[in-house]
Amino acid sequence: MLKNFKINLTLAALIFVTLFVTDSYSQTTKVLFIGSSLTGFNGQPVIFNELATAAGKEVLVVNGARAGHNLTDHLSVPETVEKINQEKWDYVVLENGDYGLMYEETRAEVWTTIGTFINMIHANCSTTKIIIFMDWAMKYGVSHNGMYYSYEIFQQMIYNATMDVARDKNLIVAPIGSAWRSIVNTFPGIELYAPDNGHPSLGGSYLGACVYYSVIFQESVVGNNYFNTIPETEAQNIQSVASSTVLENLGLWNIVTSVDLEDKDYSKNFSFHLFQNFPNPFNPSTTISFELIGYCNAELLIYNSVGERIYSFLHGETLSPGLYSFSWNGKNDSGNQVGAGTYFYSFRTGNFVVTKGMILLK
């Protein structure tokens, strides 16, 4: 009887350990990155892994990035296919490695390639969520087929092209390009570019990793104590921009559905993103920008500190999806210069309103 008791006790212990290990592994968030040197530079997947670990997350991160390879190239790489099939991934990140999505002559091929990846990934695990990487424009703009596109114009092209394929194929968007633009406008002292003005610096890779953190875990990375070798204040500013870009627009990036937005009370910001003005504080002028996911009737107004409307940019005009920027020179609707102090700009569409503060100096 004692022998049987010992055997039963041993079996119970083994079952407990097995269940414990299985449960622990099931709680691990498994992420595969497929991309080019834009992902591989500075070990961005490793930075993401370190951020997650510092926050107490259990993660399995595999880097499938290959320098010089776009997604179409990856289809011919056996190791990429092997990586897709080696785990039941929670998330797979697709980064194309070039501007093929933006150009008419290559766009159809990239769409087809993305569709092929979706089929491969879901054949391996139907519940895997697929994230599409939103690129950034080169520092001094892009020339293509005899045409020059400034940084701002090409960033808008990237935004439109990425959002189009994401909506069509039901992909989650990692809005690295939008966060990048916010850093460029809000913290121009932070260098996001490598010396070639296209690849990311360590700060640029850190920004991307922070965006992925907020996309995958749907929580802010602000306060995370992993900075790599980036100065603490700079890293904290990057964390703040990455988190706000993602979390204020969960529906925009298809991270949660409209039903989820309603359940989680994220709906207030799902259709647009209002950026912090730049510069701020300012004198004599500043730029106010916002992004839209769909067509809407919009108001953009400025108020003084006692709530009086002093200037109007938009009065309910119908706007199409995209990025918009307006400059304010510190004057009211009558053309008179207003005094120094705190002012508020408010964007409204339907019942949704977002307001931000700014400071005019003298």
pLDDT, tens digit, for every residue of 94-110? 999 899 999 989 999 99
Structural domains in the chain (count): 2
What per-residue confidence (pLDDT) applies to 26?
60
Residue bearing the bigger pLDDT, 256 or 286: 286
The per-residue pLDDT for range 287-300, each reduced to its tens digit, is 898 888 778 889 99
- Both 88 and 175 in one domain: the answer is yes
> Per the domain annotation, does 240 fall within a domain?
yes
Residue bearing the bigger pLDDT, 320 or 76: 76
Q: The domain spanning residue 325 has which CATH number?
A: 2.60.40.1930
Domain boundary among 208, 239, 270: 270
42, exposed or middle or buried, with CB in 10 Å at 0-12, 13-18, 19+? buried
- Both 226 and 140 in one domain: the answer is yes
d(CA 307, CA 292): 26
What per-residue confidence (pLDDT) applies to 5?
41
Report residue 268's pLDDT band, with 50, 70 and 90 as the boundaries: very low
- Both 224 and 99 in one domain: the answer is yes
Write out the two tokens for 15.
């079952």
> Per the domain annotation, does 14 fall within a domain?
no
**Helices assigned H by DSSP within 86-146:** 104-124
- Both 180 and 285 in one domain: the answer is no
Domain boundary among 270, 291, 325: 270
> Per the domain annotation, does 292 fall within a domain?
yes
Report percent pLDDT > 70 for the chain: 88
- Both 308 and 335 in one domain: the answer is yes
Range with lowest mean pLDDT among 11-20, 247-256, 316-325: 11-20
Whole-number mean pLDDT of the chain? 87
| Statement: residue 7 has pLDDT above 60 | no
First to last CA, the chain: 91
| Statement: residue 262 has pLDDT above 50 | no
- Both 124 and 219 in one domain: the answer is yes
- Both 281 and 210 in one domain: the answer is no
> Per the domain annotation, does 16 fall within a domain?
no
Most confident of 35-44, 322-331, 353-362: 35-44
- Both 115 and 43 in one domain: the answer is yes
- Both 246 and 286 in one domain: the answer is no
What per-residue confidence (pLDDT) applies to 15?
45
Q: The domain spanning residue 156 has which CATH number?
A: 3.40.50.1110
The per-residue pLDDT for range 14-68, each reduced to its tens digit, is 444 444 444 445 689 999 999 999 999 999 999 999 999 999 999 999 999 999 9
Write out the two tokens for 296.
């809407």
Return phi, psi of residue 125, to 5°. Answer: -155, 115
Domain range for 286 is 273-360
What average pLDDT does the segment 151-173 reach? 92
> Per the domain annotation, does 7 fall within a domain?
no
> Per the domain annotation, does 12 fall within a domain?
no
Edge to edge, what strands does the sheet with 29-34 contain?
Answer: 59-63, 29-34, 91-94, 129-133, 172-174
Domain boundary among 270, 295, 321: 270
Could you tell me the CA-to-CA distances from 76 to 41, 70, 72 in Å, in that order? 22, 11, 8
> Per the domain annotation, does 79 fall within a domain?
yes
- Both 330 and 224 in one domain: the answer is no
Instruction: Provide, for the chain, the percentages of residues in helix, strand and coil under a 3-state DSSP scheme, each rounded to the nearest 5.
Output: 40, 25, 35
> How many residues belong to the chain?
362
- Both 236 and 295 in one domain: the answer is no
pTM of the model: 0.70
Report residue 134's pLDDT band, with 50, 70 and 90 as the boundaries: very high
Helix (H, G, I), strand (E, B) or coil at 242: helix
| Statement: residue 254 has pLDDT above 80 | yes
What average pLDDT does the segment 247-273 reach? 59
Report residue 170's pLDDT band, with 50, 70 and 90 as the boundaries: very high
> Per the domain annotation, does 2 fall within a domain?
no
What per-residue confidence (pLDDT) applies to 130?
98
- Both 253 and 356 in one domain: the answer is no
